[in-house]
Structure 1
Amino acid sequence: MSKLASTHRFNLRKAWIATIILAAGMIMAACQEQSTPPSGSQTSSTTAQSPAAGALKIGSLLPATGDLSSVGQPMLAAVPLLVDKVNQCGGVNGAAIALVPNTDDQTDPTAGADGMTKLAEVDKVAGVVGSFASGVSSAAAPIAVRNKVMLISPGSTSPIFTERAKKGDFQGFWARTAPPDTYQAQALAKLAFDKGVKKVATVVINNDYGVGFEKEFVLAFKKLGGTITNEAKPTRYDPKATTFETEVQATFGSKPEAVAAIAYAETGALLLKTAYEQGLSKDVQILLTDGSKSEQFPEQVGKTSDGKFILTGALGTVPGADGKALEQFVTLWQAKFNKPPVEYAAQAWDAAALLALSAQAAKTNTGEGIKSKLREVANAPGVEVSDVCEGLKLLKEGKDINYQGASGNVDVDENGDVVGVYDVWRVEADGTLKTIGKVKPQ
């Protein structure tokens, strides 16, 4: 073989290898652009479309990983589902919504702040559905305000947001479709008292969610005539803790009839498992909340030596859904995923719907425009509509609407808050979670 021929074959081989590497890189990049779909869900086709110039661009900041992943992951599909529906009926302001794949906040304020910065300053979104954890939303909100991005949370329930809104911290760029824990704490207190419990100890995750809930629960339970056995020295645990011997001794050692554990799933499971292993939780009623409600939670806590679930009989509360759009939403979700919607999916759907409707009402696809019309489309007066496409049609005709959501009527007040109803759930002997009723704040 001549030297020239050898060199020519070598150059062809280098070009062939380079082509393969380039193709592989393009495939990997395309894969990375897709958000990881929640268990049992499908990725929205909307994320693959090229956005029209000036189209409404929205994103989500929700926990696919971390302490709230078992609650957050299953609800990730709600936003793409709403966007697909809107785009099928013509989009917003004459163009399809451009949906940025979910940004995983990792149930961590630092990661959430980084994610919000990316959404606002790199992706240039006008609105965001998120976050779920109150601590993450606290970190993300100032970034949203600074960049004039409308942030609507489907699950951050800490009362601290009401207080901050009253101080003017959010300048109107904050709202939520889940009611604040001021109400859920009252509902849990009423549930406990109605069950004959008069002495309760609290153990809470030491963040905006846990401490805010604890404060309201203590006030509500004492108002009913109950006693908080560890009120003088409340038990609060580090969100990054991995051992809980001290915390369970302090909580269960105060001899309560029930323990209200305001916790997230991963750390809450370790805490309650530790209490059982130390023999402290026997004959003590466990009270739980939305932060730990997931199908995996009883399994995470574990079983007794004779194979029974430790959490059997535990009771909890969670924001329910009773809106006029609920039936339509449930039908759409079941047709797509062949299962009923998970908790907070309706709230996430409503959050995305409010972003779309507000932008259409404002006739501009900006965060400032959304903010200016949010309460107008959510509240009376106006034609009551539960179908988002019908709402968009009326707005295009210049009519006022009053959106009735899947989670509730989503009447947003001046602090960005809504009022809701609460489901009561119980851990059954087989480890499943069963909704056994509803309870309203006292």
Structure 2
Amino acid sequence: MNDNDNRSIDRRSVIKAAASAGLVGLAGCSGGAPEDGGGGDGGDGSDGGDGESTDSSTDSGSETYTIGMVDSLSGSLSAFGQRNQRGKEIALDDVNSVGVGGGELAISQQDDQSTSQGGVSAAQTLVNQEEVPLLIGTVGSGVSTAIHESVVQNTDVVQISQNSTSPNLTNFPDLLRMPPAGKAQAEAISTLLDEDGNESAALAWINNDYGQSVGEAFIDAYDGEIVYNEPHDQGQSSYSSTISSMSDTDADAWVFITYQPEFATMSQEAFDLGVTDQAAWYGGDSVKGPKVLESAPEGSLDGMKAVVPSVPQDAENYQAFVSEFEERFGEEPTSWSAYAYDAVVVSALAIEAADEFTGSALMEVVRDVTRPEGEEATTYEAAHEILANGGSPSDVDYTGVSGPIDLDENGDPVGLLQVFEVVDHAYESAGFIEG
């Protein structure tokens, strides 16, 4: 049961203190940046900048609850940041059309530039200077863990990653996330290789937490022979040495755990070297996207399979999200947009459910509002109604547009994975796997 009147008093004192420091009530609403096509991944940069605060206009005297968001608005992960911006925008409008804690939600935002250093600096601004009690962030798994270890850990701040999939995040129970862990992806890729009769594999992984942990999970799951297992650095102008070394192994399958810009370069160089047909190609979530196909010669990637986090495409709330997204932006959302949407909604539900607007109070309830013991609510409005009518956090089971969340003791959700295959230079669904 919630004492909303007492909670409002506690929150009001926090908001007044923050407002005196100029931290809340910032005008403007994020318009987002162009996003890639439906159902997949990809993008081409963002026009978002540092220090953006997104908020719907508020009536004079209403309370504003400001949380932080670190996102990849520039750099090699900006394609993901674009998706996040649009999902965040819709979520913010959905939350504020209903209200939260008697007021409205605002998001103060910083760009991590797709780097750990940028992420830590962005988080320090939000946590240490603006003193947000909850931080959504971020895309890259290594960046999320750097933020957690350098800024969030041993504080009362709640951190929810909107996109990070590295298995290593499981080692940080207070680092929550919306997408399923990359271990499930790695195991699914291994299963695909086995089912397709590949007895040996060459593995190329990007030299960071994401690449290493997902690569290790693949090696643990794969029954065949690993004949190449080497990292590559992010942002290089050429990866011809990687492709040449993989080619020299005569492996049955090539597995890429890397990012879209790096993979786009690799696929072009493989075509230039005439080795695209030498092995079957497989990849994780971060190698799939329209921009990859646009940069690859026609037909050069046909037959490649990629495993990506997915959404319950037939669910009513997801279809409503798709309709709103298409109406606003003229294209379908991706699973990453859905994860960002749910990160905002879960944050708002935690604010509604908590006794006060502090990190420690939010951490006490943030898992509970997603768990299956409560009454299922597939929209923010429905979940908010349960809480506003006196329900406790455990009375709510928010099932998001990305599917059931059910955050466990490690901060991991349940998840759904989808397999895509490139056919006639286009992505086609090849089935679903429960993560």
| TM-score normalised by length of structure 2 | 0.83
CA contact (8 A) 1:93 1:363 kept: no
Shift of 1:183: 0.9
Matched, 1:321 2:311: yes
Q: Counterpart in 2 of 1:384? A: 376
- 8 A Cα contact 1:54 1:365, kept in partner: no
| Counterpart residue number, 2:10 | none
Q: In the alignment, which residue of structure 1 is the partner of 2:19?
A: none
Asked if 1:152 is matched to 2:160, the reply is yes
Spell out the pairing of 1:140-179 with structure 2 (5 A cutoff): 140-142=147-149, 143-165=151-173, 172=174, 174-179=175-180
Question: What SS class does the counterpart of residue 145 from structure 2 fall into?
Answer: helix
Residue 279 of structure 1, CA deviation: 2.7
1:433 to 423, 427, 430: 427
- 1:286–1:315 Cα contact (<8 Å) kept: yes
> Counterparts in 2 of 1:175-254, with a 5 A limit?
175-222=176-223, 226-230=224-228, 234-254=229-249
Mapped contact 2:74–2:114 kept (Cα < 8 A):
yes
Q: Is the 8 A contact 2:137 2:144 kept in 1?
A: yes
Conserved in 2, the CA contact under 8 Å of 1:62 and 1:130? yes
Contact 1:58–1:127, Cα closer than 8 Å, also in 2 = yes
State the match for 1:115 in structure 2.
122
Say which structure is richer in strand: 2
- Across the aligned residues of Structure 1 and Structure 2, the Cα RMSD in angstroms comes to 2.6
Residue 331 (structure 1) shift: 2.6
Post-superposition CA distance 1:304-342 (Å, at most 9, x none): xxxx24222211010001266322322322232232112
Give the conservation status (yes or no) of the 8 Å contact 2:350–2:366.
Answer: yes
C-alpha distance in 2, partners of 1:218/1:138? 22
Mapped to 2, the partners of 1:122 and 1:84 lie a distance apart of 26
- Residue of structure 2 equivalent to 1:270: 265
* Distance in 2 separating the partners of 1:237 and 1:96: 45
Deviation at 1:385, TM superposition (A): 0.6
Number of the residue aligned with 1:58: 67
Q: CA deviation at 1:35?
A: 5.2
CA distances 1:191-220 after superposition (whole Å, capped 9, x unpaired): 222222222110000111001011111111
Q: Which amino acid aligns with 2:189?
A: L
Residues 256 and 376 (structure 1 numbering): CA distance in 2 closer, same or farther, change over 3 Å?
Answer: same
Larger Rg: 1
In the alignment, does 2:274 pair up with 1:279?
A: yes
Q: Which amino acid aligns with 1:67?
A: S
Tell which deviates more after alignment, 327-336 or 398-407. Answer: 327-336
Partner Cα distance (1:114, 1:33) in 2: 23
Q: What CA distance in whole angstroms lies between the structure 1 residues aligned with 2:404 and 2:287? A: 25
Cα 1:62–1:382 shift into 2, 3 Å: same
Describe the superposition over 1:215-245 as per-residue Cα deviations: whole angstroms up to 9, x where unpaired.
11111112xxx22222xxx210012432223
User: 1:72 and 1:88 mapped to 2: Cα distance?
Assistant: 24
Tell me the CA shift for residue 147 of structure 1: 4.6
Alignment partner of 2:404: what SS? coil
- 2:342 matches 1:334: no
Could you say which residue in structure 2 is the equivalent of 1:12? Answer: none
**What CA deviation, in whole Å up to 9, does each residue of 1:341-366 have, x standing for no partner?**
12311111111111111111113222
Q: Which runs of 5+ in 2 are unaligned?
A: 1-25, 37-46
The question of whether the paired residues in 1 share the 8 Å contact of 2:69 and 2:110 is answered with yes
* Number of matched pairs: 390
Matches of 1:334 and 1:423 in 2, distance apart?
21
Aligned counterpart in structure 1 of residue 141 of structure 2, from 134, 150, 169:
134
- 1:380-429, Cα deviation, whole Å (9 max, x unpaired): 32111111111111111221211111112101010100121111112232
TM-score when scaled to structure 1?
A: 0.82
Q: CA deviation at 1:34?
A: 6.6
Quick one: which amino acid aligns to residue 162 of structure 1? T
Find the residue that maps to 1:197 and give its secondary structure: coil
Return the alpha-carbon distance in structure 1 between the equivalents of residues 225 and 159 of structure 2. Answer: 38
Corresponding residue for 1:28? Answer: none
- Give the SS at the match of 1:282: coil
- 5 Å matches for 1:97-108? 97-100=105-108, 102-108=109-115
Q: Distance in 1 between matches of 2:322 and 2:53?
A: 20
Deviation at 1:88, TM superposition (A): 0.7
* SS of corresponding position for 2:213: helix
3-state secondary structure, aligned to 1:79:
helix
How big is the shift at 1:33? 7.3
* Contact kept in structure 2, 1:61 and 1:130, CA below 8 Å: yes
The answer to whether the Cα contact below 8 Å between 1:324 and 1:409 also exists between their aligned partners in 2 is no
SS where residue 296 of structure 1 aligns? helix
**Amino acid paired to 2:122:** G
The verdict on how the C-alpha distance between 1:205 and 1:393 changes in structure 2, with shifts beyond 3 A counting, is same
What is the identity, as a one-letter code, of the residue corresponding to 2:328? K
Q: What secondary structure sits across from 1:391 in the alignment?
A: helix
User: Residues 201 and 226 of structure 2 are in contact (CA less than 8 Å); yes or no, is this contact kept in structure 1?
Assistant: yes
**Tell me, what secondary structure is at the counterpart of 1:229?**
strand
Q: Alignment identity in percent?
A: 27
Distance 1:53 1:140 in 2: 32
Higher mean Cα deviation, 388-397 or 124-133?
Answer: 124-133
